[in-house]
């Protein structure tokens, strides 16, 4: 096999590049679902292989941006990788920063927001085969907004970490 044969497997090594990019990894605007509301999010799939039951992705939310508010049967294992922000899991809003871990259980509302001056980047481990996210109905949103801390979070103005 020639060194330039493009049909061969990708290299085992993919070097980190500046600005939280990786060699050979496409950086795409996040648009998994046309129905979903989100703002200023990119996605890079770091590991996806038919021999793996999971995928590892790197998402980055620009300042003022947010991921989709959603829930689903599959779970997420998340490590905050860059910057800081706030995260909603279920009925809890927390300030999060680099190397913090966030576990998203099944059928639990969740959203990440870059509430500070820096981007919020996080690694997200997920099942390769997974159900489609559900979006909140008006009733779901009303129930979430009944909690003042969640209402402030959804407005993009969470309480300062204390």
Q: Using CA atoms, how far apart are residues 19 and 21, in angstroms rounded to an integer?
A: 6
Active site positions, annotated = 124
Going along 2-115, which residue ranges are E strands?
Answer: 16-17, 21-22, 28-29, 39-48, 54-66, 76-82, 84-89, 92-97, 101-104, 110-113
How many angstroms separate the CA atoms of 131 and 136, rounded? 16
Q: What is the 3-state secondary structure of 64-78?
A: EEECCCEECCCCEEE
Residues 6 or more apart whose CB falls under 8 angstroms from that of 70 comprise 36, 109, 110, 111, 133, 134, 135, 136
Please tell me the number of Cα atoms within 13 Å of 69 on its side-chain side: 20
């Amino acid at each position: 096999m020639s060194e330039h044969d493009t049909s061969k497997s990708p290299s085992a090594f993919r070097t980190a590049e500046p600005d939280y990019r990786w060699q050979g990894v496409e950086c795409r605007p996040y648009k998994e679902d046309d129905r979903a509301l989100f703002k200023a999010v990119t996605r890079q799939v770091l590991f996806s292989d038919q021999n793996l039951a999971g995928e590892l992705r790197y998402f980055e939310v620009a300042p003022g941006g947010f991921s989709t508010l959603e829930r689903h049967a599959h779970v997420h294992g998340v490590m905050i990788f860059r910057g800081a922000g706030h995260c909603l899991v279920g009925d809890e809003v927390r300030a999060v920063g680099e190397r913090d871990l966030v576990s998203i259980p099944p059928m639990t509302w969740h959203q990440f927001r870059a509430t500070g001056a820096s981007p919020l980047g996080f690694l997200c481990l997920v099942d390769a085969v997974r159900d489609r996210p559900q979006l909140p109905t008006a009733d779901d949103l009303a129930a979430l907004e009944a909690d003042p801390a969640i209402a402030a979070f959804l407005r993009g103005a969470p309480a300062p970490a204390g």
